[in-house]
Amino acid sequence: MCTTFRLISHHHRQYTNENPLPLARQLNLFDITMIVMGGIIGSGIFMNPWVVAREAPVTSIILGVWIFGGAVAMAGAFVYADLAARNTALGGQYAYLRDGWHPSVAFLYGWCLLLVIQTGGMAAVAVTFAHYLVEMTGLPWPPAAIASATLLVLAAINLAGVKAGSSVQNLLMILKILAIFALIAAGFFVPAHPATGITHVVPLRNIGGALTPVLFAYGGWQTASFLSGEMKNPRRDLARGVLLGVAGVVTLYVAVNWVCVRALGPDGLAQTPTPASAVMLSAFGPAGGRLLAAGIAISTLGFLSQSMLTAPRIYYAMARDGVFFRAIGTLYERTQAPAAAILLQAVLAAAIALSGAYDQILNYVVSIDFIFFGLTGAALFRKGRPDHPVTTLFFVAACWITVLATILKAPATSFIGLGILAAGVPVYFLWTAKNR
């Protein structure tokens, strides 16, 4: 085969700073900040204000849960900043779990990322993007086919190298921020909704129900850590990028919810499944609706771009540790991109998009994701005193409470997710036994 297309394979072994990875270290602080924000902001912020208001239609609670969710995300950002300063190994969160607990824990995280967390989410978001694209352009193609093609195009971009992938991600993230700014600005062109005088007694269970989608909406900032092997200065830039990115998203999210409550009122918001669309239509008419549709399409495409850039690095790290297919631990020689891992992610997500099974998969995500969040934060205590012990304890406690609340609210789907997690245990031991 031509040298240009030759793949570089590696033997299974642990890698350290003394034995550097042959990945291209090209990402700077701005890239990381955009990747952090892109991993959080998808299409959810345009609809989730309604989900929260439906559970608790009180202005102070609506804004309060978004602020609280932002506090949890910022606490997590401090945890990951602490971890990034201590451990710059390939894979970020994967390495934190491997070195803080056991290689089997890290494997289970990668197992769930591939089968549930990342792949199902990418398939669902790709189909959402396809629906908005069809709505805007009138394309006569099936949304599932458009979704699959989009995923394969993003894979091709990322095969061109980490800088190419991050440059596309930066552009989409800037456009996404502008779209959210347009929504926030629209709120000032709509008269403030008058106070109705209606009061609601909100049960604690409903507040917990409102908090779950909020915490889910804030998730995704941890995926920037997957790229630690391709950062120019991971010890410094990952910590700063996570903090700056999460702070930026918290500001945007709270502003969007304030605008929705101001324009629609808490009760009106609770009855409007598409609150962002309602605000834009009220402010700018049909043109506002088209602008929002374009903004959501860009937002979903940006999320897909970020996911295609970050997640394959986990599968690559697993292969390098000898707990995944050896072929996945290969690099495309010309661009030093983990080509096989990128193609694996793209093909699997595209297949799920075509099958329509993403809705069921997404139901399992929250409880699994927050189990690993909590374990990652708790790993700091196994390696000595964290730099921010109070913040770390708050983050870990919030993660376990979220897992418990999710199981209580949706026990059937939660236990299916836990079953998928448990199924990875014998797979890990079979894999390691085979390699021995």
What confidence tens digit (pLDDT) does each residue in 67-112 have? 999 999 999 889 988 898 888 888 889 999 999 999 999 999 999 9
Cα separation, 58 vs 48, in Å, equals 15
Alpha carbon 142 to its chain's center: 26
Structural domain span for residue 35 = 25-435
What's the pLDDT score for residue 19? 38
Domain-located, residue 377: yes
Cα separation, 227 vs 223, in Å, equals 8
Cα separation, 301 vs 228, in Å, equals 23
What's the pLDDT score for residue 158? 93
What's the pLDDT score for residue 334? 84
Domain-located, residue 19: no
Domain-located, residue 52: yes
293, 132 contact by CB (below 8 A): yes
Nearest-CA neighbor of 368 among 342, 328, 406, 339?
406
CATH number of the CATH domain containing 241: 1.20.1740.10
Cα separation, 344 vs 375, in Å, equals 27
**Could you state, in chain order, the average pLDDT of each consecutive group of 10 residues for the chain (436 residues)?**
40 39 82 93 86 88 92 90 86 93 96 89 89 85 92 94 92 93 89 66 76 84 88 89 94 94 91 90 89 90 93 94 90 88 94 78 76 92 83 91 81 84 93 78
308, 121 contact by CB (below 8 A): no
Domain-located, residue 10: no
Cα separation, 266 vs 62, in Å, equals 8
401, 374 contact by CB (below 8 A): no
Cα separation, 133 vs 130, in Å, equals 5
Cα separation, 116 vs 121, in Å, equals 8
Nearest-CA neighbor of 350 among 307, 414, 310?
307
Cα separation, 110 vs 119, in Å, equals 11
Backbone angles phi, psi at 231, to 5 degrees: -95, 145
Which residues pair with residue 75 across a beta bridge?
none
pTM of the model: 0.86
Which H/E stretch holds residue 332? Answer: strand 330-332
Domain-located, residue 6: no
- For 133, residues 6+ apart whose C-beta sits below 8 A from its C-beta are 139, 146, 297
- Tokens describing residue 129: 């993007």
* Chain segment 174-183, per-residue pLDDT in tens: 999 999 999 9
- Please tell me the total number of residues recorded for the chain in this structure: 436
- Tokens describing residue 250: 């918290």
178, 166 contact by CB (below 8 A): no
What's the pLDDT score for residue 319? 92
Domain-located, residue 204: yes
Cα separation, 352 vs 33, in Å, equals 30
40, 218 contact by CB (below 8 A): yes
Domain-located, residue 7: no
The number of folded domains in the chain is 1
Q: What is the largest CA-CA distance in the chain?
A: 74
Which residues pair with residue 9 across a beta bridge?
330
245, 40 contact by CB (below 8 A): yes
Cα separation, 93 vs 377, in Å, equals 10
What's the pLDDT score for residue 6? 43
Domain-located, residue 17: no
- At 372 the three-state DSSP class reads helix
Which H/E stretch holds residue 359? Answer: helix 358-362
Per-residue CA distances from 6 to 2, 77, 280, 319, 335 (Å): 7, 38, 50, 18, 11
What's the pLDDT score for residue 360? 64
- At 337 the three-state DSSP class reads strand
- Residue given tokens 């549930």 in the structure block: 116
Cα separation, 338 vs 322, in Å, equals 15
